[in-house]
Chain A
Amino acid sequence: MKKKNKILEVNNVFSGYGETEILHGVSIEIYENEIVTIIGPNGCGKSTLMKTIFGLIRATSGNIDFLINDELTSINNYDTENLIKEGLSYVPQSDNVFPSLSIEENLEMGSFIKEEGMSESIESMYDLFPILKEKRKDPANQLSGGQRQMLAFARAMMLKPKLIILDEPSAGLAPNLVSSVFETILTIHKAGVSVLIVEQNAKAALEKSNRGYVLATGENKADGTGKNLLKNKEIASLYLGRK
Chain B
Amino acid sequence: MNSYKLISNSFNIIPTYMKVMLSFIISLGLAFVLGVQDLYVHGLLIGTVFALGAIGITLLYAIVKFAHVAHGDFMTLAAYIAFPFAVSVVKIEYVSYADNFSFTGLFPLLGLDQVGLWIFTFGLPILLAIPFAMIILSSIAILLEIFVYRKLRNRGSSDVMLAMSSFGIAILLRGIVQTIFGTQLRSFDRISKPFLDLGLGIAVPPDLIFLGLTAIFLCFITHYILQYTKIGKSMRATSDNPDLAMVTGINVNKVIINTWILAACLAACAGILVSIFSAQFMPQMGWKLLIPIFAAVVLGGVGNAYGAFIGALIVGISMEVSTEYINPAYKLAIAFIIMLLVLLVKPRGLLGGKD
Chain A residues with CB under 8 Å of chain B are: 54, 56, 80-81, 84-85, 90, 92, 95-101, 105, 108-110, 112-113, 115, 155
Contact = CB atoms under 8 A, between A and B. Distances in A.
A115 B229 CA distance: 12
Interface centre among B230, B239, B240, B248 (most CB of A within 10 A): B248
B247 A100 contact: no
B151 interface: no
Contacts of A92: 243-244, 247
Contacts of B247: 54, 56, 80, 90, 92
Contacts of A96: 244
B233 A105 contact: yes
B240 to A, nearest CB: 4
B237 A98 contact: yes
A95 B243 contact: yes
Contacts, number: 54
B241 A99 contact: yes
Given A95-B243, A98-B240, A101-B240, A155 B233 contact: no
A62 B233 CA distance: 38
Given A98-B236, A101-B236, A109 B241 contact: no
Nearest to B251: A81
Contacts of A56: 247
A84 B249 contact: yes
Interface centre among A54, A85, A113 (most CB of B within 10 A): A113
Contacts of A95: 241, 243-244
B131 to A, nearest CB: 29
B243 A109 contact: no
Interface string B244-264: 111111110000000000000
B322 interface: no
A97 B241 CA distance: 8
Contacts of B250: 109, 112
B63 to A, nearest CB: 13
B234 interface: yes
Interface centre among B237, B246, B247 (most CB of A within 10 A): B247
23 contacts: A80-B246, A81-B249, A84-B249, A85-B249, A90-B247, A92-B243, A92-B244, A92-B247, A95-B243, A95-B244, A98-B236, A98-B241, A98-B244, A99-B241, A100-B236, A100-B239, A108-B233, A109-B250, A110-B248, A112-B250, A113-B249, A115-B230, A155-B248
Interface string B205-237: 000000000000000000000000010011011
Given A98-B236, A112-B230, 15 more contacts: A56-B247, A80-B247, A84-B248, A92-B244, A97-B244, A98-B245, A99-B240, A100-B236, A101-B237, A105-B237, A109-B234, A109-B250, A112-B249, A112-B250, A113-B249
A100 B244 contact: no
B237 A109 contact: yes
Contacts of B246: 80
A56 to B, nearest CB: 7
Contacts of B230: 112, 115
Given A98-B236, A101-B236, A101-B237, A112 B248 contact: yes
A54 B243 CA distance: 13
Nearest to B250: A112
A125 to B, nearest CB: 15
A41 B250 CA distance: 32
Interface in B238-293: 239-241, 243-251
A127 B54 CA distance: 42
Interface centre among A92, A110, A155 (most CB of B within 10 A): A92
Nearest to B234: A112
Contacts of A109: 233-234, 237, 245, 248, 250
Contacts of B239: 100
Nearest to B304: A100
Nearest to A54: B247
Contacts of A98: 236-237, 240-241, 244-245
Interface in B55-83: none
A243 B244 CA distance: 39
A100 B353 CA distance: 11
Contacts of B244: 92, 95-98
B92 to A, nearest CB: 48
A108 B248 CA distance: 10
B240 A100 contact: yes
Nearest to A56: B247
A85 B249 CA distance: 9
Closest 9 pairs between A and B when the two form their complex, measured CB to CB: A113-B249, A98-B240, A84-B249, A98-B237, A81-B249, A90-B247, A109-B237, A109-B248, A100-B240
A101 B234 CA distance: 10
